[in-house]
Structure 1
Amino acid sequence: MTDATPPASVAQSHKHGVFFVFAAGVLWSTVGLGIRLIEEAVVWQILLYRSISLSLFLYIVIRIRSGESPFAQVRRAGFPGVIAGLSLVAAYSGGIYAIQLTSVANAMLLFATAPFMAAVLGWIVLREPVRAATWIAIAAAVGGIAIMVADKSGGVVLRGSLAALGSALGFAVFTVALRWGRTGEMLPAVFLSGLFAIGITVGISAHTGHREAS
């Protein structure tokens, strides 16, 4: 007798994982439309309101699911949780900034490089093996990115493309940080990212006086 998870359970978990990844991609693709509908706001103001609602929502969800304070789970997450939270702030802010400066299609395509970046970071930081097919896909993605950036060398659009790549890198670091911390629970780190973003965006918005939106 062993304590190994039954194959049926593993297959079911894999199906659920594929579904949630697909659903996340579909929902994330709607971000561009929502941001484009906001006429007068800078990235920090959008991120501030988004982070407030995110933190409140996750506080309630974590309380209901675990019956304990989200802050207790954040403390258990430790340093990897802090890295994951900060990387999400970079991912969110970079994503919003990118969509404001470049086309939604261009930004979303560059966001899709996050899994490749995560694979490379996992190979470097965690020493996880990467299949040959994945290296080929990464090389093709890098070639496509180079063509896109070279074709859109205008200052504003180029900044948008770089911000989109920065956002993808943020999501990649988030993924690797969770693996590094040996935890499958990401909600505490996401909750922490909301708190970080609130503090950062309040400071920046107060310093700029919301003048950039006008």
Structure 2
Amino acid sequence: MLLAGLIGRPGPAWADTVRLLAFGDSLTAGYNLPQEAAFPVQLEQALRDRGHDVTVLNGGVSGDTTAGGRARLDWVLAQDPDAAIVALGGNDGLRGLDPADTRANLTAIVTRFQDAGIPVLIAGMKAPPNLGRDYGQAFNSVFPDVAEETGALLYPFFLEGVAADPALNQPDGIHPTADGVAVMVEGILPQVEALLDRVE
């Protein structure tokens, strides 16, 4: 009788594994790192350690810009994510691309996810200091502005605590080591949990 009574009951909301997309560039893809050290894998483990039933999908493509990410939105949406971390823009800054274009692309990416019912966390980036103050101000303002305009969550700087630290970066000074990725995960984790709270 007990079994019969349980059959047909709707399961709790948390019964289904949440599919979280990490949508970015080489920082997400895990450039020059073993798979288990890449950001999506380390983030998934950290979330599971905190009791979240989450699968983190690696949507990182090395070298990608916001324009590249915008162009492959159909492909990533086909993976049917429940939530998305958008971590694009670093290559826009490295190449000195027009911040207005970065803003337009990022806005389009975020709104496309939101229109599909997918909540978004923007992982912001900062312009390289060698590009000058004016460029830096224009570029750095893109991420908080888009978050405010769209209502997306914001983690201000994806490489917080890692950028410019030789101990946490590979010899190129740009890409984090496995330990560097661990610092990134620790920093962004509270905002990722806030993102998961928005999943319906």
TM-score normalised over the length of structure 2: 0.30
Higher relative contact order (CA 8 A, sep 6+): 1
Higher percent of residues as strand: 2
Higher percent of residues as helix: 1
- Computing the radius of gyration from Cα coordinates, the structure with the larger value is 1
